[in-house]
Structure formats: structure tokens, C-alpha cells
Amino acid sequence: MIAPNDRIFFAPATRQAELVRRREISPVELMQATLERIATVDRRLNAFVALRREDEMLADARAVEQRIARGDDPGPLAGLPLGVKDLEDAAGLPNTHGSLLFRDHVATGDTIQVERLRRAGAIVVGKTNAPEFGYTCFTTNRLFGPTRNPWNLERTPGGSSGGSSAAVAGGLVALATASDGGGSVRIPAAYTGLVGLKPTQGRIPWGPDEMLRHSACIVSGPLTRSVADAALWLDVTAGPHSLDPFSLPAPEARYQDLLERDPGRLRIGWSPTLGYARPEKQVRREVEKAVAALADAGHEVDEVDPGFPDVVLHWMQYLVFEDLAFLAPYLTDESLLDPGYLPGLGIARAATPESFGQVMRIRSELVAKLADVFARFDLLATPTCATTAFAAEGPLPIEVDGRPIETPGGGVAYTYPFNFTGNPAISLRAGFGDDGLPVGLQLVAPRLREDLLLRVAAQLERSRPWADAWPAV
């Protein structure tokens, strides 16, 4: 039997699946141990907000065990427990969107991503907490309360995929779904020391949803304990689907097979500010160590100021407009919405064709400036966040090193530009701040170049391994 303090709880998903396939761990034993750990540890984290019936999960685990006993392929995820973010459908489980409006909603089917993860052998355990409609970068709502960071229970694990990041970093499950419309994969990854990948839009098909998303900003992506886990996730979930007309063709090669390939000598632009942001000294120090490791690996690193416009207000206008379009049929009682969410609806209702056009002009300007960056560099490196994790209940930081933050994007001003441009980006653990909390490095690549991101990320992971450093929850 797996001991409660067994390091298997913090092993990467690739390692856990390998042990299951080799029959060194039973999938039934792994599921039982997972449920026991959730029952004890999650009382402090509040990562999960709903669980499947135990007998159903154990029946699924026994089915995987029987396939292995017969010599059948159990799938690349081989019975691994899976958390699903509470903004995404998993059949038979609630999808509340973190909102009182949807507190009684139960999904009748899976998203494309969840269906593919199940088909690969993963077993859905339950739903992970998220802020209402994913609108904040910390995770709390009026239905379930705040989720807490396993490195420090007074701090947030980020948002909007904070329940998922707390579950993976806290050793509850090795796999949990996430999504990113402005940093909701990368911010939690930075705050909890995980790998967080935002792919190019369409790499992982979106939906099915009752309304096609038009913003081209929101994507699904993995939050994992290792780069290999992120590559495995893409290998399982990427590829076209008829229900997502924006989904991309299947990659030519498996991402896992590319990780050992030398990316060659790359030109990497290091931007600590993007032209408008400012990181804490402790954050810049740790990120610069990681950037130095890239130079030590043979890459040509130069500091760059791309002079980006701060698009946060335009990005927000666009996404709340899309949110209002989605929510319109359900807005029967706006008193059920978090008061902090209501101003966004007001902004959306005030939108005009002229204001919409101005948003898209700013977006076009940003795309052009990033194109200039990639004319000179293969990758762009930045901090993922300006600060380490702040209070679990919020609010957002308004100061950096005692000085007011000038940008409305605050401490999370580095992520949303790349949702607006559509570029893939990854957050990796760069080190730890003076407060003992993780610091994230963000790498951004040209569109469709997840392969380049993963190869460089794997190279950095080998030179500065983090696999043995996890919180003692």
C-alpha cells in the first residue's frame, strides 16, 4: 500500500504512468491513496470542489488493472487520477463556473480535451476550484471560498486555474486540466512552481460549447510537474476536431520524442519589462539566474525592450464582451454574480462598433511589435509574474518593492499580451523568492512552435532540476 508520505504523490505523471504499466503500482492502489490524500490534505487547500462517487472511480481503476493483466495497452495515462477545472465539462459532474448562477448545473458530456484524456487512460476524480467565470488571477468565489497555495496556505495558487495548480503542486493528483485567456495557466504555474503551457489557439480543440468563442484568446493547456508531462499532455490532446472549426492539424511528430533533441544555438530576447511592467527585485534576480542558464547552454541572450503598448484594458474589453455574449441567456438574476464581476458586464454593454474597432487596432499594433521581436529572436523571455503569490483572498498587488504599480495589469502584466497575439508561451520554475515562494520564467515562441518551447524548457529543466523540491503540505 502507498504510504501517506510517499514521494509517489509528487512524482511526474510520466513516472506514475510508467510504474502502473510495469505493475509496480496498482491503479486501484493509486486511486485509493489519492482519495485518502484528498480527504486529508485538501481540507487545507480547497483545491477540489466536487468528487465522483468512490465506487465509480475504483471501478474505473480496476478496469485499467484488468487491461494490464491481460497484456492490453492501458493508454499513455494508464489509470492516473485527473482533476478537471470547474470551467470545463466532465460528464456527470457539476460545472458551476464558480458562480451561483450555475450552482445546479451538471454536465451531460465531456469537453474534447477531457474525452481525449479519458481515452488515454486517465480517470476523472473531480472538479477543481476556479474564480467566477475565470475572471481573476486568484481563486476564490462565493460558492466554494478561496483555494490556498500549498507552499504557503495564506497565499493564492493563482487563477483562474488555481484549484488545478494547488492540486498538482500539493501532491493530490499529477494531472489537472487548465485554461488560459490572459494567463490562467501560466500565473498559477509561476505561483506554485509548476510547468504551465499556453499553446497556440487550436492546438488543443476547444468545446464543445453552446457558443463558439470568437476572441481567439482562450485556450486549454497543461499544468504539470515536468516538461515531459506537458509534452505527453499535448501528445494526448492535440489534433483537429470537427466541433472546433479553429482546431489545428495534428503535429507531425510526438512532442515527447523531441525533448532530447538539441534545439541548437538560439537567439533569445530577455525583456524584464516588455516596455511597461516592473518585477520585484527578488523576482528579477531569480529569473535572471534562469536566463543565465540559457546562456550557459549556448544560446545567445540579449536584453530587449520591445516597447509593447499595455493592452490590458483593450484585452479586458474584448473578453468581457465575449463573456456577456455567452452569459446573456442566463442573466435572470444579476444579484447572484460576484459584485467584482458586474463592472465588466457594464463595460461590455457599453461597447460599440467604434470601440470594438479600436481594440482590434491596438491588437494589430501588438502583433506587429511582436513580429519585429521574432524577426530578431527565436524566443522571448520574461518574468511570468511581477511578484510572488499574494494573499489567497486577494486583492491584487498594488506595489512592487514599495512603489506603486503603474499598469492596471498590476502584478500579472506579463501574460495577457500573448493571448492577444495568439503565441504559445510556457512558465517554468526559475527559483524561489526571499519569502520561500516559487518564481516563474516565461518563454514565448512564434505561433505553432510549441516544439521549440518544450525543447528549450526541457534543456533548462535538465540544467536546473526542480523535481525533488515540493511543498510539505
Residues whose CB is less than 8 angstroms from the CB of residue 402 and which lie 6 or more positions away in sequence, other chains included: none
Count other Cβ atoms within 10 Å, centred on residue 266: 18
Cα–Cα dist 217/347, whole Å: 18
DSSP 383: E
Active site residues: 85, 160, 184
Cα–Cα dist 105/424, whole Å: 32
Residue 435 backbone phi and psi in degrees, to 5:
-85, 5
E strands present in 253-375: 267-270, 300-303
Please, which contacts does 318-322 make with residues 24 or more away whose CB atoms are closer than 8 Å?
318/215, 318/217, 318/356, 318/359, 318/363, 318/420, 319/181, 319/182, 319/215, 319/217, 319/218, 320/344, 320/345, 320/347, 320/348, 321/347, 321/348, 321/351, 321/356, 322/213, 322/214, 322/215
3-class DSSP state of 191? helix
- Give the three cell numbers for residue 270: 530577455
Of 469, 280, 463, 300, nearest in space to 388 by CA: 280
Angle between helices 450-463 and 227-237 (to 10 degrees): 160
Residue 195 backbone phi and psi in degrees, to 5:
-90, 125
CA 50 to chain CA mean position, Å: 20
Count other Cβ atoms within 10 Å, centred on residue 469: 11
Residues whose CB is less than 8 angstroms from the CB of residue 345 and which lie 6 or more positions away in sequence, other chains included: 320, 323, 324, 327, 331, 334, 337
Cα–Cα dist 181/348, whole Å: 17
3-class DSSP state of 175? strand
Cα–Cα dist 146/149, whole Å: 10
Bridge partners (DSSP) listed for residue 50? 127
